[in-house]
Structure 1
């Protein structure tokens, strides 16, 4: 069985390193969600029902969506899928808090203040130069992080919806949405609901 994603040590530096944050999310999604069919195929034991010699007398098209044993599927969800989703949720929530907190250690704060001061003394005459009115201040790293977190939360919702659809087709039996199933799992583990 695939191993669940491990949550990295959460520090503001991890969040501000957009490469590290994106790499964690990419690796977690690729090992669990992007390869959900392979993960579910690994749960199928083809010889569990025994070999039927009549099965070789005629050729039948192979079904692309073979059903997975519900017990194996539930184990996969409880031990791999939900913990991986929870790890990504924890990272996105933590980095969202970092993005909405004041950042006294911002290395570009002084540079941005100097640029604003310089812009306030600039003479704008759009008749001479139609582009002279343009001023694009640098974004604070918390603003950049907040934008990244919003994007990643949208991606996470799309990925989980697609994964859950595949699980419902292959495992069957559940009418819950992925949010409801995840909340039920959290309650069973005694975890609190944290919205990113």
Structure 2
């Protein structure tokens, strides 16, 4: 289980958020380290040598895999408290920060003057759709805050899907992991604040 690379938050600056490739790469790396490999992470918690070898186990064909995947509840809780939830919280913090940047005014927008010029030129243009039906088309440039807001919105949707899938596997494998991932994460947040 790699903990450090997936839960360490990058330096949160507007430049980090506006570098959409860097933001996307951070989120993908964090997800691949914890969520995409959740089965491997949970399997790493299994310690079959604790019970020792039972020679009678070879007398009957074992078709029930649930008996073999008994994970120590303390190990499961430790994984959730020290690896899974901190990773989710870090990604939430990054997305919340970048959402705030996306809704704030952007005085340093490098394309602002270009967009204003295009907008003024578009207002002056005479459109005769009878002569050229395509002359009315105008695709204004999207401000980088709008682009960032779209990216954050999409990444939050991805987070919802991935966390639901991950939590389903955790709840299936770890005893005492009931409820939704939102409830579990909020409970973990409350215990950290105390």
Q: TM-score range by the shorter chain?
A: over 0.9
Q: Does 1:18 align with 2:20?
A: yes
1:54 aligns with 2:56: yes
State yes or no: 1:155 paired with 2:158: yes
* SS of the residue 2:48 aligns to: coil
The TM-score, its normalising length taken from structure 2, stands at 0.94
What CA deviation, in whole Å up to 9, does each residue of 1:15-74 have, x standing for no partner?
A: 000100000000000110011010000000011111111223344347278232111000
What is aligned with 1:35? Answer: 37
Tell me the distance in 1 between the aligned counterparts of 2:155 and 2:165: 15
Per-residue CA distance 1:94-144 (angstroms, 9 max, x = gap)? 000000000000000000000011111111000000011111100000000
- Check whether the contact 2:45–2:75 (CA below 8 A) recurs between aligned residues: yes
Cα distance in 1 between the residues matched to 2:187 and 2:26: 25
1:142 matches 2:145: yes
State the TM-score, normalized to the length of structure 1. Answer: 0.93
Find the aligned partners of 2:161 and 2:120 in 1 and give their Cα distance: 42
Aligned counterpart, 2:108: 105
Tell me, yes or no, if the aligned pair for 1:92 and 1:153 is still in contact at 8 Å.
Answer: yes
Cα distance in 2 for partners of 1:178, 1:162 equals 9
RMSD: 1.5
In 1: Cα distance, 2:58 partner to 2:48 partner: 15
Q: Distance in 2 between matches of 1:67 and 1:58?
A: 19
Counterpart-to-counterpart distance in 1, 2:128 and 2:189: 60
Equivalents in 2 of 1:89, 1:102: separation in Å?
Answer: 22
The count of aligned residue pairs is 191
Instruction: Point out where structure 2 has 5 or more consecutive residues left out of the alignment.
Output: none
Structure 1 residues not aligned, in runs of 5+ = 192-196
Q: Counterpart of 2:99? A: 96
